[in-house]
Amino acid sequence: MSESPLLVVEDYHVGFRTETGLAKAVDGVSFTLNRGQTLGIVGESGSGKSVLNRGFMGLVSSSRMIESGSVLFDGQQIVNQDRQDLWGKRIAMIFQDPMTSLNPVMKVGKQIFEPLRRHLNMDKGQARERAIELLTSVGIPSPAQRLSQYPHELSGGMRQRVMIAIALAAEPEMLVADEPTTALDVTVQKYILDLLRELQQEHGMAMTLITHDLGVARGRTDEVMVMYGGRKLEHAATETLFADMHHPYTEALLASTPSLAHPKHTRLFPIPGSPPDIVDPPPGCRFSPRCMYAQDRCTTDNPETTSLTDHEYACFYPVGSDAGAEALKHNQDAGQTATGLKIGRAKEGAH
């Protein structure tokens, strides 16, 4: 298909004015999302992955927020524009916690009817019929009964299904799934993720799947983008990334997260330290204070993005390269990295 991409994000910034200065939550991120494609956006808490999505959707309601750069949705510039006419109708969103994301004092039915009536101008009867179809399609048993129940009468997994049904109600072209399974039981997570993938392909929607768990992205996304401290560190086709990851952060992230992809009782390696201060970020590579590969250069220069055919990464000493191996060996011999991070024996492979 030679169709134009649905979403083109270029050098996008989101900042928040704080008392100590501008917090650069998203710092110059670019990516492209084609119709019918799923992009996994992965990073720790505070990496800016959520703010990135809420930012370009225009859902951040803070007078302290500033955005800049370019975001084209279906060819239309939406940065600093009123985006309300997109919400629900063209871009829908599902949230992390189904316990708090459904209105607790409104019947489930009414919450599904709302977008149907607003965006598709259905009358009550049509909306009801369509709502039952939607609930059936997300795998909810006895859907007609659910309509007159309140959210607290449903289980967490059910509620997340309801939320998905609401998001899909107006047949949006794009879905933003913000940690859709984090708050759910492990056993339910897989079903919801697979359901999302299935529905996304069935409806030909574009989707961004935001998660802190690299394992979630595996097998359910077409591309993966890894974010850290508001920046994009690595971006590749999903299979390429898992076969040959280049950024030490991606490697560390995979080793640190208990995930569905891991067999049980796998030894996990938490990433030492904490995410960077986004008001006053460290010079050079933002990950350098926590990176096992860090050399002197990493603390002063910001690595340019290296672009291969379907793989981008921003690192001087990429994993799997000679330079990377050398850097790691150098640090192991010294017992610490250039930023003073103490390291012991060689870390066992994460996979």
Partner 1 sequence: MMIALLVAVSMLTFGAMSLLGDPLFNILGPVAGDTENPENLAKINAAKEQYYLDKPLPERYVRWAGDFLTGDFGVQFSTDGQPPVANLIKERLPRTLRLMVMAQILAVAIAIPWGVLAASRANKPSDRISTFTAFLFVSLPNFALAVILFYVFALKLDWLPDTYNATDPFFGFTHKHRFTQLLLPAFTLALPTASVYQRLLRTDLITTLQEDFILMARAKGESRRKVLYGHALRPSLFSVVTIFGINAGALIGGALVVEIYFRIPGVGTAIVEAVLREDFPVVLALVMIIATGFVVLNFLVDILYTFIDPRVRR
Partner 2 sequence: MTDTLKPTDVEILDASDQVPADSIAKKKLGIGFWLAISWLVFIVGLAVFAPVLPLKDPDQNFIQTEEKENAITGRVTESPIQPPYAPSGDHLFGTDSDARDVLSRTIYGARVSLVVGFAAIAFGMLIGGSLGMIAGFFGGTFDKVVSFLFLVLLSFPALVLAILITTLAERSLFTISLTLGILAVAPVGRLARAATLVFAEREFVAASRTLGAKPSRILRREILPNVMIPMSALALLGMGVSIVAEGALAFLGLSVEKGSTWGKLIRTAVNSTSDLENAPWMAFTPIGALFLTVMALNFAGDRLRDYFDVKELSI
Q: Of 4, 11, 21, 45, which lies in the binding site for partner 2, with binding defined by CB under 8 A?
A: 45
Q: Of 5, 10, 32, 60, which lies in the binding site for partner 2, with binding defined by CB under 8 A?
A: 60
Is the Cβ–Cβ distance between 214 and 43 less than 8 Å?
no
Minimum CB distance to partner 1, residue 175 (Å) = 11
Q: Of 4, 68, 148, 268, which lies in the binding site for partner 2, with binding defined by CB under 8 A?
A: 268
Q: Is residue 53 a contact point for partner 2 (CB under 8 A)?
A: no
Minimum CB distance to partner 1, residue 115 (Å) = 5
Task: Give the helix/strand (H/E) hosting 18.
Answer: strand 7-18
Part in contact with partner 1 (CB under 8 A); list of ranges 102-110, 218-226, 259-267, 282-290: 102-110
Minimum CB distance to partner 2, residue 237 (Å) = 26
Spatial separation of the C-alpha atoms in residues 322 and 318, rounded to whole Å = 8
Q: How many beta carbons lie within 10 A of that of residue 287, not counting itself? A: 27
Any idea which residue has 């591309």 for tokens? 223
Q: Is residue 264 a contact point for partner 2 (CB under 8 A)?
A: no
Q: Is residue 190 a contact point for partner 1 (CB under 8 A)?
A: no
Q: Is residue 137 a contact point for partner 2 (CB under 8 A)?
A: no
No. of H helices and E strands in the chain?
11, 12
How are strands ordered across the β-sheet holding 65-73?
21-33, 7-18, 65-73, 76-77
Task: 261-266: list long-range contacts, CB under 8 Å, 24+ apart.
Answer: 261/214, 261/215, 261/218, 262/215
Q: Is residue 263 a contact point for partner 2 (CB under 8 A)?
A: no
Spatial separation of the C-alpha atoms in residues 297 and 339, rounded to whole Å = 10
Q: Is residue 199 a contact point for partner 2 (CB under 8 A)?
A: no
Q: Is residue 166 a contact point for partner 1 (CB under 8 A)?
A: yes
Q: Of 6, 93, 196, 207, which lies in the binding site for partner 1, with binding defined by CB under 8 A?
A: 93
Three-state helix/strand/coil letters over 34-71: CCCCEEEEECCCCCCHHHHHHHHHCCCCCCCEEEEEEE
DSSP 3-state assignment of 31? strand
Give 97 or 239: the residue with its C-beta nearer to partner 1.
97
Give 1 or 105: the residue with its C-beta nearer to partner 1.
105
- Which residues does residue 33 pair with via DSSP β-bridges, in sequence order? 7
Q: Is residue 104 a contact point for partner 1 (CB under 8 A)?
A: yes
Q: Is residue 105 a contact point for partner 1 (CB under 8 A)?
A: yes
The one of partner 1, partner 2, none whose footprint includes residue 152, by CB under 5 to 8 A per kind, is partner 1
Q: Token pair for residue 234? A: 């690595």
* Site map (CB under 8 A) of partner 1, residues 239-278, x = contact: ----------------------------------------
Question: Which residues in this chain contact partner 2 in the complex, by CB under 8 A?
Answer: 16, 18, 23, 44-51, 54, 60-65, 96-97, 179, 182-183, 212, 256-258, 267-268, 270
